Structure 1
Amino acid sequence: MSRRTPVPTSLILAAAAADLLLVLVFVLIGRGSHEVGFTLLGTLNTAWPFVTGLALGWLVSRAWRAPLPMRRTALPVWASTVVIGVLLRALSGQGVAVSFVIVTLLVLAAFLLGWRALARLVVTRRTRREAHVEH
């Protein structure tokens, strides 16, 4: 039986906050590009489908166990955020034009996968540098 090193709570909270912040940035950019304004209620109305998808992605992938891996965490979180978000938008009578779905796929991929790729790069370089210093 193997035991994993526990993931620091600070990393879990930072990853969850980064995901949530980036989903909200996506929503705000979208609202701004459609000139619908930045009211709190309007923003929450636009955000809730994607925040729900994000939360389900975290649950399904158990992202709190390892928030950085691409295959195990990032891809399921991204896919859930997009698929659930678009489905809930459709069910709630919000727009889901094909162009919107494509933009959603691409922007949320850049955001939710991108920060993790950068984080992995930083961690890998730091680990190599520390290993080099020790020898």
Structure 2
Amino acid sequence: MNKWVLLIGDLVMLYLFALIGELSHNKFTNPLGTLGTAAPFIIVWLVIGFLAGIYKMEHYNNFGTMFKKTALLWLIAIPAGLGIRALSTGEIPLPFFIVTMISTFILLFLWRTIYVWVNKRRNA
């Protein structure tokens, strides 16, 4: 598998996070609106991710390396995305911060664990 599959999966997970949030709060209007909700997270994830070299394939040969690289990006990018979101909403309540961190952790790490598992099986 290649970096584009990984990148698309990351984007899908961040979009899914926004979609689940909108649906759970009855705020869903349309798919493009959800993209707007996800945009701060997607933009920061991609910018910091590419600057940090997160899409170098050597990071995805084992779970430990993937976890370390992803954890570092997640710890920086998700709070930064929340900060950008706060510019438009005015605030980020603590419960929203906590739910965002937990939800994105689960979605991104689940996806990336599956990616490494499939990648290892294909290369075995």
Normalising TM by the smaller chain, what interval?
0.7 to 0.9
- CA-atom RMSD in angstroms: 2.2
Instruction: Give 1:80-95 correspondences, 5 Å limit.
Output: 80-93=76-89, 95=91
State, as a whole percentage, how many aligned pairs show the same letter.
27
Q: Is the CA contact 1:52–1:81 (under 8 Å) kept in the aligned structure 2?
A: no
**Number of the residue aligned with 1:21:** 12
Q: Contact (CA 8 Å) 2:48, 2:77: kept in 1 or not? A: yes
Higher alpha-carbon Rg? 1
Unaligned runs of 5+ in 1: 1-9, 131-135
Q: Corresponding residue for 1:71?
A: 68
C-alpha offsets along residues 67-122 of structure 1, whole Å, 9 cap, x if unaligned?
532213x1233223311110001112255211111111111111112222233344
Aligned length: 118
- Cα contact 1:32–1:38 (8 A) shared by 2: no
Q: How does the TM-score come out when normalised to structure 1?
A: 0.74
* Match among 38, 43, 59 for residue 47 of structure 1: 38
Structure 1: 4+ residue segments shifted above 4 A: 122-127
- Give, as a single letter, the amino acid of the residue that structure 1 aligns with 2:97: V
Distance of aligned partners of 1:104 and 1:24 in 2 relative to their CA distance in 1, 3 Å threshold: same
If asked which structure has higher relative contact order (CA below 8 Å, sep 6+), I would say: 2
Alignment of 1:1-135 (within 5 A): 10-66=1-57, 68=60, 69-72=66-69, 74-93=70-89, 95-124=91-120, 130=124
